[in-house]
Amino acid sequence: MKPIRKIVIPVAGHGTRVLPATKSTPKEMLPVVDRPLIHYVVEEALEAGIEHIVFVTGRGKGALEDYFDHAFELEAGLEAKGKTEILEDVRQPIMTPGSLSYTRQQSPAGLGHAIWCAREIIGDEPFAISLPDVIIRGKPGCLREMVDHYNKCQGNIIAVEEVPREEVNKYGIIAPKSTDEALMEMTGMVEKPSVEDAPSNFSITGRYILQPEIFSLLEKTERGAGNEIQLTDAMAALMTQQPFFACTFSGESHDCGSKIGWLKANLAFATDRPEFVQELQSYVGELF
Ligand code: UTP
């Protein structure tokens, strides 16, 4: 069995749902409390034992590369002032040389196309994908739990979450064979089904483990919804050839690709920081 060593994190989108904030700042660099979204996503990947991160980037995403690199002047200044705690925080995202790769998607032709751009770096091994606008609150992280499942069942795995039945039309929804286990065998998935037609109320969350055969299928995938090459279309094709599972996870997801999701994430993650809790609670109480 080949272990999950690599992850693809696509960051080439335009983030139109959170404009104008993303006009000159990559969506993935929007902060939640005091660190950018991408920090949480990389931390979750490392906790899952991932050794190599592949970012699929695009124009204007340079800030993201800098975040994972040394900032010599800043670090020297902090060191000179004895600000060791902040210095530690600043250095924390820096990874071992060679464990980060960047490849460029020249135009955002869809999530499926972005993943396909990483094919040469991933090669012939199973790999993970994390969508960086979704951050997960809770330990163990979602990817850790997925890798643990993978080590027992292999195949392809998609993380899912239960959503209220009346809201299934906002999400990608899976069709499970049965729903009585943490790891559910899947028979299909549908994008934004009507409440009446939805095969379940388990929505796709933005974390995947896939086999490398997905790349040849992506190569053949025609443009679909939104005139984009969709990962879901290639996964549906792969599902006819290989086992697919869906797993729930113990944390809670926050979709920071929407304004309200990002606002809620800031509040939720702040409650994990004892230094902010009391003041924030009384302030929110005053506001509403
Ligand atoms: P989204 O559709 O949520 O991101 O894709 P977006 O396109 O940036 O956002 P909106 O819809 O315009 O607001 C999920 C992830 O996939 C990446 C995005 O950067 C995001 O992190 N993505 C999407 C790409 O890298 N390339 C694409 O062509 C599309």
Note down pLDDT in tens along the chain; length 288 residues. Answer: 899 999 999 999 999 999 999 999 999 999 999 999 999 999 999 999 999 999 999 988 889 999 998 999 999 999 999 999 999 988 888 888 899 999 999 988 999 999 999 999 999 999 999 999 999 999 999 999 999 999 999 999 999 999 999 999 988 999 998 777 789 999 999 888 899 999 999 999 999 999 999 999 999 988 888 888 999 999 999 999 999 999 999 999 999 999 999 999 999 999 999 999 999 999 999 998
Structure tokens at 258: 């929407």
Is residue 272 included in any domain, yes or no?
yes
The atom of ligand 1 lying closest to the CA of 206 is 14
Which segments of the chain are extended strands (E)? 6-10, 31-32, 35-36, 52-57, 100-104, 127-130, 134-137, 156-162, 172-176, 183-191, 202-210, 244-247, 252-255
Closest ligand 1 atom to residue 28 Cα is: 21
CA–CA dist 190, 60 (Å, integer)? 33
| CA 277 – ligand 1 centroid, Å | 32
136: Cβ contacts below 8 Å, ≥ 6 apart: 40, 44, 142, 207, 249, 251, 252, 253, 254
Indicate the pairing of strand 134-137 with strand 252-255. Answer: antiparallel
Task: With CA atoms as reference, report the closest residue to 249 among 162, 177, 145, 154.
Answer: 145
Taking CB atoms and a 6 Å cutoff, what residues make up the pocket around ligand 1? 10-17, 27, 56, 105, 108-111, 113-114, 131-133, 257
- d(CA 111, ligand 1 centre) in Å: 6
- Which CATH number is 257's domain given? 3.90.550.10
User: b/e string for 5-22 if b means 16 or more Cβ within 10 A?
Assistant: ebbbbbbbbebebbeeeb
The number of folded domains in the chain is 1
Asked if residue 1 is part of any domain, the answer here is no
What 3-state class would DSSP assign to 156?
strand
pLDDT at 153: 92
pLDDT of residue 180: 72
Q: What is the DSSP letter of 167?
A: G
Enclosing domain of residue 23: 6-287
> Is 276 domain-assigned?
yes
Let me know if residue 223 belongs to a domain: yes
User: For residue 162, is it within any domain?
Assistant: yes
Look at residue 9 in the predicted model and tell me its pLDDT: 98
Is there a domain that residue 143 lies in?
A: yes
Separation CA 203–CA 164 (nearest Å): 10
| 234, part of any domain | yes
Asked if residue 248 belongs to a domain, the reply is yes
Angle in degrees, 0-180, between the axes of helices 274-287 and 259-270, rounded to the nearest 10: 130
Kindly give the number of the ligand 1 atom that is closest to the alpha carbon of 107. Answer: 28
